[in-house]
Chains A and B, each alone.
Chain A
């Protein structure tokens, strides 16, 4: 009789469907109505019991009565429920008429939950499905290794530098840069070697200043003089370039976060490039100092 069954399984002895956690006991039986291990929801300990289960999107009402307790094969009677929610509820009511209130209530609750999740499944399948593609460990390792080797073989910096120099040679930059072309005029080269070395030195100075070193130059009043000088520097490309570099350096400088490493005794407040002017003013400053 069910009381004996419950007193054995429920409390004292072992029930294989029972799962205990810190706060609650669960029942793993497929026919369980609520999923908890209780006296009233144990399908083994109640001779009159009903559940709702769904298979392939259709819901069925399973019922068990005392009369069939001796026939395990025919124990659970199955009724297919209507697809319509209200009609199915009526069906449950009509099948479980005169059954205990608890079971009827729980059946309807369970049925509601099941239909809700079925609706959600159908909605989700219409949306984009994310497809999980398994990673293959060997292949990943192989690819990584090959990538490293390719990186080493590529020698990116050299390749980029070579390409840029090629482009310079082929005159894609026009006359922004004032480098004399090798193929022609060696004499001119020599002649310009002096001016070039000057300008190169200056440029290199600038570069150094740009990158790291700063030289001590008298810090004149910033913006006014800069603008003045920018006006004056107009025509020649060199000056253009200086101007551009100036502008850039100004921009760069304004963006610097003050993390530049310490250079020399003094640092200029702003990048200052009028080289021609330097040459002019230096002697005057020297004379002043003297």
Chain B
């Protein structure tokens, strides 16, 4: 194999010997021979890495040399850091938002006037996985009932549910034997959220899981719901669980929003000391991505949409998130 940089067709001209740095006008992509080009590229990469390492070492030495006067370490850029500022971010002291929340559809729940009662159902003809997932979800959410769909129209189910005092309706949509969508509808005329559900893990698929969830009301953790939209979605998810958790149960349900993906986990925790807590995952896990939020109950044709995910407009930037 050729160890030298001969055969380049670039303007560099003279073939460079093996140990010397590449001349700056040399570009790996100009070699026509694939094998040699690959080889040169690898060498170029190695060289870049060496340079980077050397630079790092130098910086580290400088830092040590300066000691206390060293400039603070640069914060690495993360997507969360670089997030495009969303104007609807909720300020914790915002009165308008507080007023809104005191008068929206979840106010009765947060004022403890209503007890959540959930109806879980699926799309037509659910397959085994979906059925099992529904059952597990029913154990996780207290005061919830699973009913088979049997081809009934949602528009007719909803008035019946309202008549029987249900507060929320969850429909798990299924595709090719796995659940892939979730429609969450707050019943007495409340908002309807349509999520895409992914990476559903049933209890038996979770490693190191604990025993089954007990009947105690779990605590709820909602992380990272910053914008106005995120707030409403967060409240909606929180209103599924009873408002007063039973701490003896030591169970916690978490909805963690990260880059518009809501991760749901269900854990049992135990405090080993006041600085250490151990958590053990029980219960199913899934991730949700909000697709649309509708003002009234489920009505695909005439409903008034508060928010729909429009791919072409909203997915343009990698640093922009909506929840």
* A interface, CB within 8 angstroms of B: 127-128, 130, 139, 143-144, 146-147, 149-151, 153-154, 156-157, 159-161, 163-165, 167-169, 173-174, 176-177, 179-182, 200, 203-204, 207, 210, 244, 248, 251-252, 255-256
A-B contact pairs, 13 of them (CB 8 A): A127-B153, A146-B259, A150-B258, A150-B260, A151-B263, A153-B79, A153-B259, A156-B263, A161-B279, A168-B271, A168-B277, A177-B274, A180-B274
Cross-chain contact A179 with B261 (CB below 8 angstroms): no
Quick one: closest B residue to A204, CB to CB?
Answer: B272
Complex interface: stretch among B7-15, B68-76, B109-117, B247-255: B247-255
Establish whether residues B270 and A207, one from each chain, have CB atoms under 8 Å apart when the complex forms: yes
List the 8 closest A-B pairs by CB distance, nearest first. A179-B274, A154-B258, A150-B259, A150-B258, A150-B261, A164-B277, A161-B277, A163-B221
Q: In the assembled complex, which residues on chain A have CB atoms less than 8 Å from the CB atom of B211?
A: 252, 255-256
Choice from B252, B289, B311 contacting A164 with Cβ under 8 Å: B252
Nearest A residue to B250, CB-CB: A248
CB pair A168–B274 under 8 Å, yes or no, is yes
Q: Which partner residue on chain A sits nearest B273 by CB separation?
A: A200
How far does the Cβ of B83 sit from chain A's closest Cβ, in whole Å? Answer: 12
Q: Which residues of B contact A161 (CB under 8 A)?
A: 269, 277, 279
A207 to B260 Cα, complex, angstroms: 36
- Cα-based distance from A146 to B287 in the complex (angstroms): 12
Q: Is the CB of B274 within 8 A of A182?
A: yes
**A154: B residues at CB distance < 8 A:** 256, 258, 263
Question: From DSSP, what is the main secondary structure of chain B's interface residues?
Answer: strand
Interface residues on B, range: 35 or more
| Smallest Cβ-Cβ distance to A139: which chain B residue | B311
Contacts of B219 in A (CB 8 A): 167
B271–A160 contact, CB under 8 A?
no
Chain B residues in 8 Å Cβ range of A153: 78-80, 258-259
Task: Indicate if B1 sits at the interface (CB-CB under 8 A).
Answer: no
- Assess whether B212 is in contact with A255, with CB atoms less than 8 Å apart: yes
Say yes or no: is B278 at the interface (Cβ < 8 Å to chain A).
Answer: yes
Known: A130-B124, A150-B258, A164-B271. 10 other contacts (CB 8 A): A127-B153, A146-B261, A160-B252, A160-B256, A160-B265, A160-B279, A164-B221, A174-B247, A177-B271, A255-B212
Mostly, the A contact residues are helix
| Whole-angstrom CA separation of A128 from B252 in the bound complex | 38
Q: Which residues of chain B are near A182, meaning CB under 8 Å?
A: 274
Taking the closest CB of chain B, its distance from the CB of A26, in whole angstroms, is 32
Query: B78 near A147 (CB under 8 angstroms)?
Result: no
- Chain A residue with minimal CB distance to B219? A167
B200 to chain A, nearest CB (A): 12
A180-B275 Cα distance, complex, nearest whole Å: 11
If A128-B153, A160-B252 touch, does A165 touch B275 (CB 8 Å cutoff)? yes
Chain B contacts of A160 at CB under 8 A? 221, 252, 254, 256, 265, 267, 269, 279
B198 at the interface (CB under 8 A from A): yes
Contacts of B33 in A (CB 8 A): none
Across the interface, which residues of B come within 8 angstroms of A165, CB to CB?
274-275, 277
Inter-chain contacts of B263 with A (CB < 8 A):
150-151, 154, 156
Q: In this complex, what residue of A is CB-closest to B275?
A: A165
Q: Is B160 part of the contact surface with A, judged by Cβ < 8 Å?
A: no
CB of B214 closer than 8 Å to a CB of A:
yes
Chain B residues within 8 Å of A174, by CB: 247
- Complex: how many Å from CA A154 to CA B198? 16
B265-A156 in contact (CB<8A): yes
A147 adjacent to B274 (CB under 8 Å): no
Alpha-carbon distance A177/B275, docked complex (angstroms)? 12
